């Protein structure tokens, strides 16, 4: 099993978290898991839409406290 990649995007505001996430995911292999930390509430919505549009799997997310955490499995590219 490959290790979970963690990226800390705390302090960044829209659209920076999605732009950085997209660039990072491009370098990963299908099936790899990435944990994204954000504190921008709109990122929760944006990351869900990004995953659906780009065919990645949002395994879990938590927005009850900061930082918000999103666990994503990289889909087919």
Look up 14 and say whether it is catalytic: yes
Q: 7, 14, 28, 58: which is the annotated catalytic residue?
A: 14
Question: Using CA atoms, how far apart are residues 38 and 26, in angstroms rounded to an integer?
Answer: 19
Question: Using CA atoms, how far apart are residues 47 and 56, in angstroms rounded to an integer?
Answer: 10
Q: Does residue 67 have a cis bond before it (omega within 30 degrees)?
A: yes
Point out the residues that are catalytic.
14
């Amino acid at each position: 099993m490959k290790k979970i990649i963690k990226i800390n995007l705390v302090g960044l505001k829209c659209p920076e978290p999605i732009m950085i996430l997209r660039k990072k995911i491009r370098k990963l292999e299908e099936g790899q898991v990435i944990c994204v930390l954000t504190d921008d509430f709109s990122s929760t919505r944006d990351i869900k839409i990004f995953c659906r549009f780009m065919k990645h799997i949002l395994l879990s997310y938590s927005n009850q406290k900061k930082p918000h955490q999103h666990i994503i499995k990289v889909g087919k590219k």
